[in-house]
Amino acid sequence: MTMASDLPHPRVPGEAARLPITMLNPDFPFSYDHYLAHPAGLGRVPDLKLGTEVAVVGAGLSGVIAAYELLRLGLKPIVYEAARIGGRLKTAEFSAAPGVVADLGGMRFPESGKAFYHYVDTVGLETREFPNPLSAVTPSTLIELEGTAHYAETADDLPPFFTEVAEAWRRALREEVDFDAVQEALRSRDVATIKRIWNRIVAELDEQTFYGFIAGSAAFREKSFAHREAFGQVGFGTGGWDTDFSNSILEILRVVFTDADDKHRRILGGAQRLPDGLWSHAPDDLVHWPKGTSVAGLNGGVPRGAVASIKRGEGGGIRITEKWGATREFEAAIVTCQSWLLSARIDTEETLFAPEMWTAIERSHYMQSSKTFVMVDRPFWNDIDPATGRHVLSMTLTDRLPRATYLLDDGPDKPAVILLSYTWNDDALKFLSLSADERTDLMLHSLKKIYPTVDIASHIVGEPITVSWEADPNFMGAFKNNLPGHYRYQERLFGHFVQHELPAAQRGVFLAGDDISFTAGWAEGAVTTALNAVWGTVRHLGGESAPGNPGPGDVWDELAPVVLD
């Protein structure tokens, strides 16, 4: 997909309204999309350093992008991966029908994530609109709460109660956090205004929960408890967010300010095509390496194994030891794995990070998440029930066990996929100990209550596919999400790539990935933190940014996230 990501700044008043909302992060409003699109590139390292090996720990999207950009800069990324390339962009295939896929992690990517789509375009992947609740490509949506079902082809079909709930949320955002002014500033990339408003919000609301924000707002106080409850069930964008009620409201505001939960697209063939594609993609503007060189090529086609320890090496660099004993020392290492692994699974030398960095790493809060998919013989949900004139099955939001059911197809007369259930936190823990078949039985039981006349089970072919990210020892959760009072930890993690003021003993390891970003749970943060780590690495090796294209660390003094006392 090609998108207008490099529009010029607006010149006339009112023009801002036409500029797109991007995932310009209000904490650090650096335009990564412009940085990536700049013809001068991301910088250079001194000639003597060309070909230098840099370790990249973890081959999820963040690691693969870091490796890809190091390659473009003429460095030699050595990639370590404990399991499989792709990380939480993991796509499973139904064994009975290779090509019919289930995205176990990231599956829907907001158009506002411009840096992410830069790489989608690099690899040349095809995308389609994701069938979220009430979105244009979703034939129908059914909201079932406390046993009452509401069928809707567009939002207008829902009873006025739901409009009141949506209006209360919009009003709360306008009145409590200056929503329109922030979005206007994000569109026009007016960083001074973004920071002025956002820094005040951070100071005021870091210790507020999502639920506290709702319950304390005039907009919701004037409504009933049922409005707050329904808001939790159907929420905004993709649906119910009540499992986030105990998280910091800042996490939610970043999402809604940047339209991250709107206008989602999926990658045809599965999200994993992106990391897989970048792994073997040969950039056409290579420095140092011969034409045709890819990250895969520099790594002999396979990543190195799981990392067992990260220490300060005898040569003063970063020494990485693998599970099966191989050891190498690097001048720098980009570490993209789930950050808890640095203490829980990898023997990491304590002095590589300051004590307050360790606190930030250990306090990171992760969301659990589970998904259960089945393949069906055809997209039968497009059939119309002659008795009601409605689709026999709809995208479903419910307060029953499945919480959200998505219908995914690539056209008629072909097998299709039902994501029977996608849940977070408590709703995900309910299934942690259950097998794929047990989970499927439970979901079908709930759906039968909602659609008593539809025999979903008779359409199922092949074996169900399920995931609980918290059960995977390399992830221990699905994505980071800050609790109230966590801003300081987040600010430390994100800013760690700017290392010139750190003592020498703490330099050379650059953290990146979803859980280092300000918008965990969105691939955009994996991309942008990888770019920060690459900038830090270039600087560490004595290099610099390209003339006219300052990198994230070059503008740190101007844009850095606010530091609370």
Q: How far is the CB of 164 from ligand ARG (least distance, A)?
A: 24
The residue among 141 and 545 lying less far from ligand ARG, judged by its C-beta, is 141
Contact positions with ligand ARG (CB under 6 A) in 190-219: none
The residue among 125 and 523 lying less far from ligand ARG, judged by its C-beta, is 523
Q: Per rule CB under 6 A, is residue 116 in the interface with ligand ARG?
A: no
The residue among 340 and 556 lying less far from ligand ARG, judged by its C-beta, is 340
79 touches 298 (CB < 8 A): no
Give CA–CA dist 142/393, Å, rounded: 8
The residue among 238 and 517 lying less far from ligand ARG, judged by its C-beta, is 238
Contact positions with ligand ARG (CB under 6 A) in 15-74: none
Q: How far is the CB of 247 from ligand ARG (least distance, A)?
A: 7
Q: How far is the CB of 285 from ligand ARG (least distance, A)?
A: 31
DSSP class per residue in 256-311: HHTTTTSSEEEETT-TTHHHHHHHH---SS-SSSPTT--HHHHTTTS-B--EEEEE
The residue among 235 and 303 lying less far from ligand ARG, judged by its C-beta, is 235
Q: Per rule CB under 6 A, is residue 521 in the interface with ligand ARG?
A: yes
Give CA–CA dist 357/310, Å, rounded: 16
Enter the tokens of residue 504: 């020498």
The residue among 104 and 197 lying less far from ligand ARG, judged by its C-beta, is 104
Member of 27, 81, 206, 244 binding ligand ARG (CB under 6 A): 244
Q: How far is the CB of 475 from ligand ARG (least distance, A)?
A: 14
Q: How far is the CB of 543 from ligand ARG (least distance, A)?
A: 34
Give CA–CA dist 521/365, Å, rounded: 12
The residue among 22 and 238 lying less far from ligand ARG, judged by its C-beta, is 238
Determine the size of the site formed for ligand ARG (CB under 6 A).
8
Binding mask 276-315 for ligand ARG (x = CB under 6 A): ----------------------------------------
Q: Which residues contact 138 (CB under 8 A, 6 or more apart)?
A: 131, 132, 395, 407
Q: Output the CA–CA distances (angstroms, integers) from residue 199 to 89, 284, 541, in the order listed.
A: 32, 41, 33
Q: How far is the CB of 186 from ligand ARG (least distance, A)?
A: 19
Give CA–CA dist 140/390, Å, rounded: 8
Q: How far is the CB of 520 from ligand ARG (least distance, A)?
A: 7
The residue among 127 and 293 lying less far from ligand ARG, judged by its C-beta, is 127
Q: How far is the CB of 315 from ligand ARG (least distance, A)?
A: 41
The residue among 183 and 519 lying less far from ligand ARG, judged by its C-beta, is 519
Q: Per rule CB under 6 A, is residue 522 in the interface with ligand ARG?
A: yes
511 touches 226 (CB < 8 A): no
The residue among 238 and 394 lying less far from ligand ARG, judged by its C-beta, is 238
**Beta-carbon count within 10 A of 105 CB:** 23
Question: With left for phi above 0 and alpha for psi between -120 and 50, is residue 52 left, alpha or beta?
Answer: beta
Give CA–CA dist 336/354, Å, rounded: 18
Closest CA to 53 of 337, 285, 405, 318: 318
Q: How far is the CB of 244 from ligand ARG (least distance, A)?
A: 5
Q: How far is the CB of 479 from ligand ARG (least distance, A)?
A: 6
Contact positions with ligand ARG (CB under 6 A) in 363-402: 367
- 18: Cα separation from own chain's centroid: 26
The residue among 231 and 522 lying less far from ligand ARG, judged by its C-beta, is 522
Task: Return the CA Rg of the chain.
Answer: 24
Contact positions with ligand ARG (CB under 6 A) in 467-486: 481
381 touches 454 (CB < 8 A): no
Environment class of 451 (CB within 10 Å of its CB; exposed 0-12, middle 13-18, buried 19+) = buried
Q: How far is the CB of 522 from ligand ARG (least distance, A)?
A: 5
Q: How far is the CB of 367 from ligand ARG (least distance, A)?
A: 6
Q: Per rule CB under 6 A, is residue 108 in the interface with ligand ARG?
A: yes
Sheet of 109-110, strands arranged across: 109-110, 264-267, 127-129
Q: Per rule CB under 6 A, is residue 131 in the interface with ligand ARG?
A: no
Residue whose Cβ sits closest to ligand ARG: 521
Q: How far is the CB of 229 from ligand ARG (least distance, A)?
A: 18
Give CA–CA dist 559/165, Å, rounded: 36
The residue among 396 and 481 lying less far from ligand ARG, judged by its C-beta, is 481
Q: Which residues contact 540 (CB under 8 A, 6 or more apart)?
A: 331, 332, 499, 507, 508, 510
273 touches 90 (CB < 8 A): no
Q: Per rule CB under 6 A, is residue 90 in the interface with ligand ARG?
A: no
Give CA–CA dist 517/397, Å, rounded: 29
Q: Per rule CB under 6 A, is residue 424 in the interface with ligand ARG?
A: yes
Q: Per rule CB under 6 A, is residue 257 in the interface with ligand ARG?
A: no
The residue among 133 and 521 lying less far from ligand ARG, judged by its C-beta, is 521
Closest CA to 89 of 271, 264, 280: 271
Q: What is the distance in angstroms between the CA of the first residue and the CA of the last residue of the chain?
A: 43
Contact positions with ligand ARG (CB under 6 A) in 322-361: none
Q: How far is the CB of 98 from ligand ARG (least distance, A)?
A: 25
Q: Per rule CB under 6 A, is residue 238 in the interface with ligand ARG?
A: yes
The residue among 116 and 522 lying less far from ligand ARG, judged by its C-beta, is 522
Positions that interact with ligand ARG (CB under 6 A) = 108, 238, 244, 367, 424, 481, 521-522
